[in-house]
Amino acid sequence: MAISPARPRPPLLEICVDDAAGVDAVVAAGADRIELCGALGLGGLTPSEALVAHAVASGIPVHAMVRPRDGDFRYDAADVALATEEIRRMIAHGVAGVVVGAMADDRRLDLDLLARWRDVAKDVAIVLHRAVDLVSDPVAAVEAVAGLGYDHILTSGGALTAEQGAPVIARMVAAARGRLSIIGGAGVSADNVALLIARTGVDAVHASASIREQWGDPRIGDMGFATGPRRRTSVEKIVAIRQEIGEE
Protein backbone atom coordinates (compact mmCIF):
# COMPACT_ATOMS: atom_id res chain seq x y z
CA MET A 1 0.00 0.00 0.00
CA ALA A 2 1.43 3.37 -1.02
CA ILE A 3 2.04 5.87 1.75
CA SER A 4 0.87 9.39 1.05
CA PRO A 5 3.53 12.04 1.56
CA ALA A 6 3.19 14.06 4.74
CA ARG A 7 1.29 17.29 4.24
CA PRO A 8 3.51 20.31 4.89
CA ARG A 9 2.54 22.20 8.00
CA PRO A 10 0.87 25.52 7.20
CA PRO A 11 2.70 28.66 8.30
CA LEU A 12 2.17 29.71 11.90
CA LEU A 13 -0.38 32.42 12.57
CA GLU A 14 0.80 35.18 14.90
CA ILE A 15 -1.61 37.87 16.07
CA CYS A 16 -0.43 41.17 17.53
CA VAL A 17 -2.51 42.54 20.40
CA ASP A 18 -2.15 45.31 22.95
CA ASP A 19 -4.79 44.61 25.58
CA ALA A 20 -6.33 41.83 27.67
CA ALA A 21 -9.36 41.57 25.39
CA GLY A 22 -7.03 40.95 22.46
CA VAL A 23 -5.29 38.15 24.34
CA ASP A 24 -8.66 36.59 25.10
CA ALA A 25 -9.70 36.86 21.44
CA VAL A 26 -6.55 35.01 20.34
CA VAL A 27 -7.30 32.27 22.86
CA ALA A 28 -10.89 31.98 21.63
CA ALA A 29 -9.85 31.83 17.97
CA GLY A 30 -6.86 29.54 18.53
CA ALA A 31 -4.01 31.36 16.81
CA ASP A 32 -0.52 29.89 17.22
CA ARG A 33 1.29 32.80 18.87
CA ILE A 34 0.76 36.24 20.35
CA GLU A 35 2.95 39.22 19.65
CA LEU A 36 2.20 41.29 22.72
CA CYS A 37 2.59 45.06 22.55
CA GLY A 38 1.49 48.23 24.17
CA ALA A 39 0.00 51.02 22.06
CA LEU A 40 -0.40 49.41 18.65
CA GLY A 41 -1.63 52.79 17.46
CA LEU A 42 2.00 53.93 17.80
CA GLY A 43 3.38 50.86 16.05
CA GLY A 44 3.72 48.85 19.26
CA LEU A 45 5.61 49.62 22.46
CA THR A 46 6.73 47.52 25.40
CA PRO A 47 3.59 46.13 27.12
CA SER A 48 2.94 46.46 30.85
CA GLU A 49 4.17 43.66 33.08
CA ALA A 50 0.61 42.90 34.22
CA LEU A 51 -0.49 42.47 30.60
CA VAL A 52 2.51 40.20 29.97
CA ALA A 53 1.54 38.04 32.94
CA HIS A 54 -2.04 37.81 31.66
CA ALA A 55 -0.88 36.78 28.19
CA VAL A 56 1.61 34.19 29.45
CA ALA A 57 -1.12 32.68 31.64
CA SER A 58 -3.21 32.06 28.51
CA GLY A 59 -0.92 29.17 27.57
CA ILE A 60 -0.32 30.50 24.06
CA PRO A 61 3.34 31.30 23.27
CA VAL A 62 4.00 35.01 23.73
CA HIS A 63 6.60 37.13 21.96
CA ALA A 64 6.76 40.44 23.81
CA MET A 65 7.65 43.68 22.07
CA VAL A 66 10.58 45.57 23.59
CA ARG A 67 10.41 49.13 22.29
CA PRO A 68 10.89 51.80 24.95
CA ARG A 69 9.41 54.70 22.99
CA ASP A 70 7.67 55.56 19.74
CA GLY A 71 9.34 57.10 16.70
CA ASP A 72 12.56 55.89 15.13
CA PHE A 73 14.85 53.06 16.23
CA ARG A 74 18.03 55.06 16.85
CA TYR A 75 18.43 54.73 20.58
CA ASP A 76 20.55 56.73 23.02
CA ALA A 77 22.17 55.27 26.14
CA ALA A 78 19.08 55.83 28.28
CA ASP A 79 16.83 54.09 25.72
CA VAL A 80 19.23 51.15 25.49
CA ALA A 81 19.43 50.73 29.25
CA LEU A 82 15.64 50.80 29.56
CA ALA A 83 15.08 48.33 26.71
CA THR A 84 17.72 45.97 28.09
CA GLU A 85 15.99 45.94 31.47
CA GLU A 86 12.64 45.40 29.73
CA ILE A 87 14.05 42.31 28.01
CA ARG A 88 15.13 40.89 31.36
CA ARG A 89 11.72 41.58 32.90
CA MET A 90 9.78 40.04 30.00
CA ILE A 91 11.89 36.89 30.29
CA ALA A 92 11.28 36.77 34.06
CA HIS A 93 7.55 36.77 33.34
CA GLY A 94 7.89 33.66 31.17
CA VAL A 95 7.61 34.92 27.59
CA ALA A 96 8.66 32.59 24.81
CA GLY A 97 10.47 35.36 22.99
CA VAL A 98 11.21 39.06 22.71
CA VAL A 99 10.86 41.36 19.71
CA VAL A 100 13.50 44.06 19.20
CA GLY A 101 15.07 46.32 16.60
CA ALA A 102 17.64 49.11 16.43
CA MET A 103 19.15 51.26 13.71
CA ALA A 104 22.69 52.65 13.48
CA ASP A 105 21.47 55.33 11.05
CA ASP A 106 18.53 55.77 8.70
CA ARG A 107 19.56 52.86 6.44
CA ARG A 108 21.60 50.42 8.57
CA LEU A 109 20.80 48.13 11.48
CA ASP A 110 22.73 48.61 14.70
CA LEU A 111 24.28 45.13 14.66
CA ASP A 112 26.35 45.74 17.79
CA LEU A 113 23.27 46.56 19.85
CA LEU A 114 21.28 43.71 18.32
CA ALA A 115 24.10 41.33 19.29
CA ARG A 116 24.04 42.62 22.87
CA TRP A 117 20.29 42.04 23.07
CA ARG A 118 20.73 38.52 21.70
CA ASP A 119 23.04 37.82 24.62
CA VAL A 120 20.60 39.34 27.13
CA ALA A 121 17.72 37.27 25.74
CA LYS A 122 19.71 34.10 26.43
CA ASP A 123 17.57 31.02 25.82
CA VAL A 124 14.31 32.61 24.66
CA ALA A 125 13.57 33.32 21.01
CA ILE A 126 14.53 36.73 19.68
CA VAL A 127 12.82 38.46 16.78
CA LEU A 128 14.01 41.38 14.67
CA HIS A 129 10.95 43.52 14.02
CA ARG A 130 10.11 45.70 11.05
CA ALA A 131 13.04 48.02 11.61
CA VAL A 132 14.49 45.72 8.94
CA ASP A 133 12.08 47.32 6.47
CA LEU A 134 13.95 50.62 6.81
CA VAL A 135 17.35 49.30 5.73
CA SER A 136 18.74 49.80 2.24
CA ASP A 137 18.88 46.04 1.53
CA PRO A 138 16.54 43.84 3.62
CA VAL A 139 17.76 40.71 1.84
CA ALA A 140 21.39 41.33 2.78
CA ALA A 141 20.25 42.08 6.34
CA VAL A 142 19.01 38.50 6.68
CA GLU A 143 22.57 37.17 6.46
CA ALA A 144 23.81 39.57 9.13
CA VAL A 145 20.92 38.93 11.50
CA ALA A 146 21.18 35.16 11.09
CA GLY A 147 24.85 35.46 12.00
CA LEU A 148 23.88 37.09 15.28
CA GLY A 149 21.79 34.06 16.23
CA TYR A 150 18.35 35.61 15.79
CA ASP A 151 15.43 33.22 15.42
CA HIS A 152 12.90 35.24 13.41
CA ILE A 153 12.56 38.36 11.28
CA LEU A 154 9.22 40.13 10.91
CA THR A 155 9.04 41.98 7.60
CA SER A 156 6.90 43.55 4.91
CA GLY A 157 9.80 43.32 2.47
CA GLY A 158 10.50 47.02 2.85
CA ALA A 159 7.07 47.96 1.50
CA LEU A 160 4.04 49.47 3.18
CA THR A 161 2.34 46.06 3.15
CA ALA A 162 3.55 42.48 2.93
CA GLU A 163 1.48 41.99 -0.20
CA GLN A 164 3.35 44.81 -1.94
CA GLY A 165 6.67 43.55 -0.64
CA ALA A 166 6.12 39.89 -1.53
CA PRO A 167 8.96 39.65 -4.11
CA VAL A 168 11.49 40.92 -1.57
CA ILE A 169 10.07 38.72 1.20
CA ALA A 170 10.52 35.70 -1.08
CA ARG A 171 14.18 36.62 -1.54
CA MET A 172 14.55 37.02 2.24
CA VAL A 173 13.09 33.53 2.75
CA ALA A 174 15.62 32.14 0.29
CA ALA A 175 18.46 34.00 2.03
CA ALA A 176 17.39 32.62 5.42
CA ARG A 177 17.93 29.04 4.18
CA GLY A 178 16.40 27.53 7.30
CA ARG A 179 18.73 29.36 9.71
CA LEU A 180 15.93 31.59 10.93
CA SER A 181 12.27 32.02 10.07
CA ILE A 182 10.78 34.86 8.08
CA ILE A 183 7.43 36.19 9.28
CA GLY A 184 5.36 38.12 6.74
CA GLY A 185 3.43 41.00 8.25
CA ALA A 186 1.72 44.34 7.52
CA GLY A 187 -1.73 44.44 6.01
CA VAL A 188 -2.21 40.66 6.21
CA SER A 189 -5.85 39.55 6.06
CA ALA A 190 -8.00 36.64 4.98
CA ASP A 191 -8.22 38.28 1.56
CA ASN A 192 -4.51 38.12 0.80
CA VAL A 193 -2.84 35.63 3.15
CA ALA A 194 -3.04 32.58 0.89
CA LEU A 195 -1.49 34.48 -2.02
CA LEU A 196 1.20 35.92 0.25
CA ILE A 197 2.17 32.43 1.42
CA ALA A 198 2.21 31.08 -2.12
CA ARG A 199 4.38 33.94 -3.39
CA THR A 200 6.88 34.02 -0.54
CA GLY A 201 7.07 30.68 1.28
CA VAL A 202 7.11 32.41 4.67
CA ASP A 203 7.29 30.32 7.82
CA ALA A 204 4.70 32.44 9.62
CA VAL A 205 2.26 35.27 9.00
CA HIS A 206 1.56 38.18 11.32
CA ALA A 207 -1.69 40.13 11.50
CA SER A 208 -3.63 42.39 13.83
CA ALA A 209 -6.97 40.89 12.74
CA SER A 210 -8.56 43.99 14.17
CA ILE A 211 -11.58 46.19 13.65
CA ARG A 212 -11.32 49.95 14.03
CA GLU A 213 -13.97 51.47 16.26
CA GLN A 214 -14.62 55.14 16.86
CA TRP A 215 -14.66 56.34 20.43
CA GLY A 216 -18.16 57.01 21.72
CA ASP A 217 -17.09 60.37 23.14
CA PRO A 218 -15.35 62.58 20.54
CA ARG A 219 -13.50 64.39 23.32
CA ILE A 220 -11.27 61.29 23.72
CA GLY A 221 -9.39 62.29 20.58
CA ASP A 222 -9.81 66.02 20.95
CA MET A 223 -8.18 65.99 24.38
CA GLY A 224 -5.27 63.86 23.26
CA PHE A 225 -6.22 60.64 25.06
CA ALA A 226 -5.97 58.69 21.78
CA THR A 227 -4.36 59.26 18.39
CA GLY A 228 -7.11 57.63 16.36
CA PRO A 229 -9.85 55.00 16.41
CA ARG A 230 -9.61 52.08 18.83
CA ARG A 231 -8.42 48.78 17.37
CA ARG A 232 -10.33 45.75 18.66
CA THR A 233 -9.00 42.25 17.93
CA SER A 234 -11.66 40.23 16.09
CA VAL A 235 -12.16 36.53 16.75
CA GLU A 236 -13.94 36.26 13.42
CA LYS A 237 -11.03 37.78 11.50
CA ILE A 238 -8.53 35.44 13.16
CA VAL A 239 -10.66 32.42 12.29
CA ALA A 240 -11.01 33.61 8.70
CA ILE A 241 -7.23 33.93 8.32
CA ARG A 242 -6.72 30.46 9.82
CA GLN A 243 -9.13 29.00 7.30
CA GLU A 244 -7.31 30.63 4.41
CA ILE A 245 -3.91 29.29 5.46
CA GLY A 246 -5.31 25.79 5.67
CA GLU A 247 -5.89 25.22 9.38
CA GLU A 248 -9.07 23.94 10.89
With bands split at pLDDT 50, 70 and 90, how would you rate the model's confidence at 227? confident
pLDDT > 70: what percent of the chain? Answer: 96
Q: What is d(CA 44, CA 67) in angstroms, rounded to the nearest whole number?
A: 7
Contact 187, 161 (CB under 8 A): yes
For 72-77, which contacts have Cβ atoms below 8 Å and span 24 or more sequence positions?
Answer: 72/103, 73/101, 73/102, 73/103, 73/110, 73/131, 73/134, 74/102, 74/103, 74/104, 74/105, 74/110, 75/102, 75/110, 75/113
Q: What is the pLDDT of residue 248?
A: 44
The answer, yes or no, to whether residue 129 has pLDDT greater than 70, is yes
Q: What is the pLDDT of residue 236?
A: 97
Q: What is the pLDDT of residue 221?
A: 87
Cα dihedral value 41, 31, 67, 158, nearest 10: -80
Mapped onto helix, strand or coil, the DSSP state of residue 57 is helix
The answer, yes or no, to whether residue 3 has pLDDT greater than 50, is no
The answer, yes or no, to whether residue 115 has pLDDT greater than 70, is yes
Reported as a single tens digit per residue, the pLDDT across 152-188 is 999 999 999 999 999 999 999 999 998 999 999 999 9
Q: What is the pLDDT of residue 228?
A: 85
Q: What is the pLDDT of residue 178?
A: 87
Q: What is d(CA 78, CA 177) in angstroms, rounded to the nearest whole number?
A: 36
Question: Domain residues of the chain, as ranges?
Answer: 12-246
Higher-pLDDT residue of 171, 221: 171
Q: Name every residue whose Cβ is closer than 8 Å to that of residue 70 and which is 6 or more positions away in sequence.
A: 39, 42, 43, 45
Mapped onto helix, strand or coil, the DSSP state of residue 18 is coil
Reported as a single tens digit per residue, the pLDDT across 19-64 is 999 999 999 999 999 999 999 999 999 999 999 999 999 999 999 9
Whether pTM > 0.85 for this model: the answer is: yes
Pick the CATH number of 12-246 from 3.20.20.140, 3.40.50.2300, 2.40.50.100, 3.20.20.380: 3.20.20.380
Reported as a single tens digit per residue, the pLDDT across 178-219 is 899 999 999 999 999 999 999 999 999 999 999 999 888 989
Q: What is the pLDDT of residue 75?
A: 97
* Mean pLDDT, the chain, integer: 94
Q: What is the pLDDT of residue 247?
A: 53
Rounded to a whole number of angstroms, the distance between the first and last alpha carbons of the chain is: 28
Contact 52, 92 (CB under 8 A): no
Lowest mean pLDDT: which of 44-53, 120-129, 138-147, 238-247? 238-247
